[in-house]
Structure 1
């Protein structure tokens, strides 16, 4: 393997930097498991700030929709005293995913919004099963955590440009 292939490009560096900034921010507020924010940083870092912005807008829409529908799903599970081992749970999860997809289609959103809302729904439903937080607090924290990751990825991509990177390398 050629050594040149091992040298990271700007996108790799920006992705790692966004993850670092995100972790430092969350650690500063004593939040030590910002998994959703870090995943958002990695998924949102694109080659250009414009690509990141467009992907980020869809990711924000999907995150908000998935968060809202998962909130409803968790309330239903809680009200009916259904835990994750109950035989009705697969039906409720499937209906939640169906709602994410149908709402995305009804509002003429792209496939990324529908898939992201479904992923957020699934992760939130199953993630809450091991949480001691209230449903409302859990959904709010997870949604905000993801949104922070998206914003950090966008900010890093906007601030670290090819021109600035080349100047830094020349120093």
Structure 2
């Protein structure tokens, strides 16, 4: 169990503190809305903080505009609250602000239901927009200035884990001739891609860093290519020998060309197996990873090949 307090946790608390101090200095009546905005906008990257904040601002504006309009007609009305929600959601969808629907609805209802007798709806609505802007601004600034997320370090860690896993699994798979589970490799690739996507979306990437990211993108493509060949080896070698031999006999005397015997099928399987082995070795070489010292024949042809090749340590063409 991970018990350490993360930096995002600390930055969120710092952003809340600053929002409350700003609310006190400017005598904001509802600091709660600024605090909520800053908590929601504190994301795992500066770009994500900005994106979440932007969606919240757009939703707040839509909710505030219609909330003020409906509140002028009849605040606290259940009928108008329901009709207003329909309108707010429709407008957000019309503008393709789908991620702003929830906050727009919340702001609309906050104005409709929390408006005190005699309070000006326009004044109340504009204050909600101001609170949101303060909270989002604080979150983005804190995320950018105070220990910004170190995506380079995270990427290098995920890359190191993936390369180690790929080396181990590829060596085991080729040494055994199949029969090795490789699903963990796909999970490691997914983790690396997540960090990669977050980092490439950041604002502050310079030309040198973008060159590094382009190189990493090419490397990720090779990882996927290697995984595909390794998966094909699993599919080729998962079928036990008796499954091939016990296939029902079909009379092909009327077919053209005539059916090919099982021995040719086995040779085809070995040829495909060799092809994927060569591709894996080429990918490992391109990635600068250690090549396996032993490559066994496929598991489901081991008995058949043992009669023809008594000493098969490496598959070569």
Q: TM-score range by the shorter chain?
A: 0.7 to 0.9
What does residue 101 of structure 1 align with?
Answer: 89
> Residues 42 and 139 of structure 2 are in contact (CA less than 8 Å); yes or no, is this contact kept in structure 1?
yes
Higher percent of residues as helix: 1
- TM-score when normalising by structure 1: 0.80
What does residue 153 of structure 1 align with?
Answer: 139
Distance 2:134 2:57 in 1: 10
Post-superposition offset of 1:155: 1.1
Q: 1:136 to 1:103 in 2, by over 3 A?
A: same
What does residue 201 of structure 2 align with?
Answer: none
Instruction: Show CA shifts across 1:18-56 (max 9, x none).
Output: 000111111112336411001111111111111111111
Deviates more, 1:140-149 or 1:93-102: 140-149
Distance 2:141 2:129 in 1: 19
The question of 1:67 aligning with 2:64 is answered yes
Post-superposition offset of 1:76: 1.1
How many residue pairs align between the two structures? 149
Q: How does 1:29-44 map to 2 (within 5 A)?
A: 29-31=26-28, 33-44=30-41
Q: 1:52 to 1:109 in 2, by over 3 A?
A: same
Distance 2:117 2:40 in 1: 25
Q: 1:131 to 1:115 in 2, by over 3 A?
A: same
Q: How does 1:6-155 map to 2 (within 5 A)?
A: 7-31=4-28, 33-77=30-74, 84=76, 89-110=77-98, 112-128=99-115, 130=116, 132-155=118-141
Deviates more, 1:119-128 or 1:154-163: 154-163
> Residues 111 and 121 of structure 2 are in contact (CA less than 8 Å); yes or no, is this contact kept in structure 1?
no
Post-superposition offset of 1:162: 3.9
> Residues 45 and 149 of structure 2 are in contact (CA less than 8 Å); yes or no, is this contact kept in structure 1?
no
Post-superposition offset of 1:113: 0.8
Greater RCO structure (CA 8 Å; 6+ sep): 1
Distance 1:29 1:131 in 2: 24
Q: State the superposition RMSD in angstroms.
A: 1.7
5+ residue gaps, structure 2, are 151-317
Post-superposition offset of 1:132: 4.8
Instruction: Show CA shifts across 1:66-101 (max 9, x none).
Output: 110101111111xxxxx53xxxx2211011111111
